[in-house]
Amino acid sequence: MTHVDNDCPAMFFVDGPGGTGKTFLYRALLANVSSRGLIALATASSGAAANNMPGGRTAHSRFKIPLTLSNNSVCNIKKQSGTAQLLRVAKIIIWDETSMAKRQAVEALDRTMQDTTGVRLPFGGKIMIMGGDFRQVLPVMRHGTRAQIVDSSLRMSPIWSSIKKLRLTINMRALTDPWFSDFLLLVGDGNEESVDGNFIRIPDDMAIPYTNKNESNNALIDATFPSLQTCETASDYIISRAMLTIKNEHVDEIYDQLIERFCGEEKIYYSFDEAEDDKNNLYPMEFLNSLTVSGLPPHYLRLKIGCPIILLRNIDPSNGLCNGTRLICRGFQQNAIDAEIAVGQHAGKRVFLPRISLCLSEDDMFPFKLKRKQFPVRLCFAMTINKAQGQTIPVVGVYLPESVF
């Protein structure tokens, strides 16, 4: 705030594990700056994290960051545009979960800000507040090696060197309450008894014993969603619980089991699929319908009243409908889903979700371009670890059917 009062450029990085209060700090900063009549921009690398802040938008949406990045990329912002004017008058810019963003995206914003403001200082002389946790999910590189993933991280950027040189890294772990150190001791901070020198044993009261796959899965579901059939209509109950796993195929496994236990009115939506560049009709409709692709909704979308869903596309970010928003189904129409936003600043708002055409921007898995017309949602009883980053969920069951570490 001293930098805000003195109109002094600065870069900060708020570093800390999940649950240590990073989002709370951002919200306090946004409220303080806005109360002075100044403009503060809140962004995040994921839609779920953006929803946790007032006026939050994804970084790609706010800064028009290109989807295909190189070391010389710039944002798609014209100097005479309204977005450029907004960036010029903004006092502070907050970018949460920067650790998930590729360094080329942050560098592209840096170049664009310097060009837009005409100030040859990092980020055009703005007060830039970035945050995240490099112990969590790093940038996703499609089929990337370990070296490529590390190279795409912000810590390999000259911007990170500038932050470290200025000693403006705030460690949230040092500021947090004493309960966090107790938590670390429980899950292992080097003081737990090791197994074979490399592993620690998870305490028995945190784990479900394995008997066979079906029995253990049912026990995990019962522990995560107790009394599901009697509490299924309560939004707070549904949204405060989730199961985390590694891959989308494991997520689908859990969906099939949990939706069976739900008692609400059921609706099944089928998608309309086509291969856009298939001039010789080489790919039959049945084959296209059978494809399950990351980032696209399923062909067979089975929903029930009261079940949780997650949005897969930015539809209306300014009103809370962005990639990662969690909602509760309240009603079904032929071409619309009546839903209630369950988390973030727009919680409780009723919205209608349309059926839209979806394509993958970068899909080298198939020799054709798949176009699927479907509601841009999936069930949200479970989610991948990547999708959950940036969210705080009180009750979590962790399902690891294969090695993750």
Q: What is the pLDDT along the chain (405 residues), one digit of tens a residue?
A: 999 999 899 899 998 887 788 889 999 999 999 999 999 999 998 877 887 888 888 898 899 999 888 889 999 999 899 999 999 999 999 999 999 899 999 999 999 999 999 989 999 999 999 998 888 888 888 778 888 888 899 988 888 887 766 555 566 655 554 444 444 444 445 566 677 767 777 778 888 888 888 888 888 888 888 877 765 567 788 888 888 988 888 888 888 888 888 777 889 999 998 888 777 778 888 888 888 887 788 898 989 888 889 888 888 877 888 888 889 999 999 889 999 988 777 888 899 999 999 887 655 567 788 888 999 998 888 888 877 777 778 889 998 888 776
Number of H helices, E strands in the chain: 16, 21
CA atoms of 150 and 145, how far apart (whole Å): 9
Q: Is 399 helix (H, G, I), strand (E, B) or coil?
A: coil
CA atoms of 337 and 306, how far apart (whole Å): 12
Q: What is the pLDDT of residue 92?
A: 94
Q: What is the pLDDT of residue 188?
A: 45
Structural contact between residues 61 and 322, judged by C-beta atoms closer than 8 angstroms: yes
Q: What is the pLDDT of residue 393?
A: 83
Tokens of 369: 């371009």
Q: What is the pLDDT of residue 93?
A: 95
Q: What is the pLDDT of residue 192?
A: 63
CA atoms of 400 and 393, how far apart (whole Å): 18
- Please give the single-letter amino acid code of residue 88: R
For the four alpha carbons of 77, 79, 81 and 86, in that order, the dihedral sign comes to positive
Residues of the chain with CATH 3.40.50.300: 2-175
Q: What is the pLDDT of residue 376?
A: 92
- CA-CA distances (angstroms) from residue 383 to 16, 305, 353, 386? 23, 20, 20, 8
Q: What is the pLDDT of residue 183?
A: 41
Tokens of 384: 């991948």
Structural element, H or E, at residue 89: helix 82-89
Q: What is the pLDDT of residue 196?
A: 73
Considering the domain 2-175, what is its CATH architecture? 3-Layer(aba) Sandwich (3.40)
CA atoms of 370 and 357, how far apart (whole Å): 10
Residue with tokens 């856009």: 276
E-state strands within 258-376: 266-270, 272-275, 300-304, 308-311, 326-332, 336-341, 350-354, 356-359, 370-374
For the four alpha carbons of 11, 386, 389 and 64, in that order, the dihedral sign comes to positive
CA atoms of 123 and 113, how far apart (whole Å): 5
Q: What is the pLDDT of residue 159?
A: 86
Q: What is the pLDDT of residue 221?
A: 87
Structural contact between residues 308 and 387, judged by C-beta atoms closer than 8 angstroms: no
Q: What is the CA radius of gyration of the chain?
A: 22
Q: What is the pLDDT of residue 63?
A: 93
Q: What is the pLDDT of residue 35?
A: 94
